[in-house]
């Protein structure tokens, strides 16, 4: 193994915890506007993943996604936001999740361990480019890995094979010498295997225990030098 590629959100960045902090701030703003914050934020959470998937698939632009993730909950609840409120919610949310993201405590030791073993490291993420770049700078991750690939910049997002191929090609590594680590079974694990890479599913909450995919509960368990799943022979370079 020569290269370990990490997903960003919910793999290195504890996005769920960061979002909770952001929601506390959003709730204060919503309360000032006389809006039932718990109901709004519940719907906001329900709608965000489907909207983000449309962005990943190129069916929504970055700005359309950002507007709709805060505008659509008002429509679902039968409410009309005052002028500028959707933009204020979006700016407050982005300032929190992009400029003050929380990292998991196993991130720095794992990166140090990989690099001490002579492995190259990269990050492959599907998020909007400007926000992800802010997040990478704020955490210090931008200076700690050999390469960063963002779907919006590459022109294709996970799980498409071209997204993984862009990373290995940029570092001159064969597909069969690269390992993808991420929290999404479909985007990170299955996509990487189809592209001819190794893969490990980071299943921090044990939601996929007993499934066929190789998984770990913590990055501390990651041992890319041995025992990883081999990609199908037909997919190897």
What local confidence, expressed as pLDDT, does residue 226 receive? Answer: 53
pLDDT in tens, 194-211: 999 999 999 999 999 889
Q: How far apart are CA 216 and CA 232, in angstroms?
A: 21
- Domain 3-14+102-235 adopts which CATH fold? Rossmann fold (3.40.50)
Strand order in the sheet with 198-202: 147-150, 120-125, 3-6, 178-182, 198-202, 215-216
What local confidence, expressed as pLDDT, does residue 56 receive? Answer: 87
Write out residues in the chain with pLDDT < 70, as ranges.
225-237
What local confidence, expressed as pLDDT, does residue 237 receive? Answer: 36
What local confidence, expressed as pLDDT, does residue 210 receive? Answer: 85
Q: Cβ distance 194 to 214 under 8 Å?
A: no
What local confidence, expressed as pLDDT, does residue 82 receive? Answer: 94
Give the start-to-end residue ranges of the domains of the chain. 3-14+102-235, 15-99
pLDDT in tens, 111-148: 999 999 999 999 999 989 999 999 999 999 999 999 99
What local confidence, expressed as pLDDT, does residue 31 receive? Answer: 96
Output DSSP code: residue 93. Answer: H
What local confidence, expressed as pLDDT, does residue 225 receive? Answer: 65
The string of DSSP codes covering 50-107 is HHHHHHHTTSS-HHHHHHHHHHHHHHHTT--PPTTHHHHHHHHHHHHHHHSPPBPTTH
What local confidence, expressed as pLDDT, does residue 236 receive? Answer: 35
Q: Are domains 3-14+102-235 and 15-99 of this chain identical in fold?
A: no
User: Residue 161 CA to chain centroid, in angstroms?
Assistant: 17
What local confidence, expressed as pLDDT, does residue 141 receive? Answer: 98
Q: How far apart are CA 88 and CA 161, in angstroms?
A: 37
Q: Cβ distance 115 to 146 under 8 Å?
A: no
Q: Does the domain at residues 15-99 carry the CATH identifier 1.20.1630?
A: no
Mode of pairing for the β-strands spanning 147-150 and 120-125 = parallel
């Amino acid at each position: 193994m020569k290269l370990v590629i990490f997903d960003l959100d919910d793999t290195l960045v504890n996005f769920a915890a960061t979002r909770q902090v952001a929601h506390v701030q959003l709730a204060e703003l919503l309360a000032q506007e006389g809006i039932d914050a718990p109901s709004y934020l519940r719907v906001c959470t329900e709608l965000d993943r489907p909207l983000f998937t449309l962005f990943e698939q190129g069916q929504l632009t970055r700005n359309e996604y950002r507007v709709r993730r805060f505008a659509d909950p008002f429509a679902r609840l039968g409410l009309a936001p005052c002028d500028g409120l959707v933009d204020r919610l979006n700016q407050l949310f982005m300032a929190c999740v992009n400029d003050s993201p929380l990292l998991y405590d196993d991130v720095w030791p794992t990166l140090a361990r990989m690099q001490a073993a002579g492995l190259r490291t990269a990050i492959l993420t599907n998020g909007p480019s400007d926000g992800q770049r802010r997040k990478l700078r704020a955490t210090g991750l931008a200076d700690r890995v050999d390469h960063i690939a963002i779907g919006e910049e590459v022109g294709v997002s996970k799980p498409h094979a071209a997204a993984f191929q862009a990373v290995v090609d940029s570092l001159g590594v064969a597909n069969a010498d690269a390992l993808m680590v991420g929290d999404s079974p479909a985007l990170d694990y299955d996509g990487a295997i189809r592209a001819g890479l190794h893969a490990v599913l980071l299943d921090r909450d044990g939601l996929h225990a007993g499934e066929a995919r190789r998984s770990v509960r913590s990055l501390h368990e990651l041992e890319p030098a041995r025992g990883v799943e081999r990609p199908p022979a037909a997919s190897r370079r």
